[in-house]
């Protein structure tokens, strides 16, 4: 969906949004469709947010609980599927 800049500007005006915002939405749509690899997809970004939140929670947990939570919660992540738990 490569639109020339003048078309993006005109479309942005028609939609009532800033051209940079529209360009960002177009780029994100292209990333989600697999047409770009220079940015995270929406799903990857959501997973990153969830992992950062979990990381923050684990850092706040008392040391004795960190190990147990990591062992049980880590099994839910896609990169652990099919592998035996440690």
The contacts of residue 17 (CB under 8 Å, 6+ apart) are none
- At 75 the pLDDT is 53
Chain mean position to CA 44: 3
What is the pLDDT averaged over residues 11-26?
96
The predicted-structure confidence for 25-61, as pLDDT tens digits, reads as follows 999 999 999 999 999 999 999 999 999 999 999 998 8
What is the distance between the terminal CA atoms of the chain, rounded to a whole angstrom?
A: 45
User: Which tokens sit at 18?
Assistant: 């800033």
Looking at every residue in the chain, the average pLDDT score rounds to: 82
Query: What 8-state DSSP symbol labels residue 76?
Result: G
Parse the chain into domains and list their residue ranges. 1-39, 42-79
- At 74 the pLDDT is 52
pTM here is 0.62
Residue 3's H or E segment, with its range, is none
- At 4 the pLDDT is 76
Q: What is the distance between the alpha carbons of residues 37 and 9, in angstroms, rounded to a whole number?
A: 24
- Share above pLDDT 70 across residues of the chain, in percent, rounded to a whole number: 72
- Give yes or no for residue 73 having a pLDDT over 90: no
């Amino acid at each position: 969906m490569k639109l020339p800049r003048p078309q993006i500007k005109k479309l942005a005006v028609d939609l009532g949004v800033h051209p940079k915002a529209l360009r960002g939405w177009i780029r994100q749509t292209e990333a989600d469709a697999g047409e770009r690899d220079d940015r995270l997809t929406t799903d990857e970004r959501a997973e990153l947010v969830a992992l950062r939140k979990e990381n923050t929670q684990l850092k706040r947990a008392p040391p004795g609980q960190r190990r147990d939570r990591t062992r049980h919660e880590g099994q839910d992540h896609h990169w652990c599927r099919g592998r035996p738990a440690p």
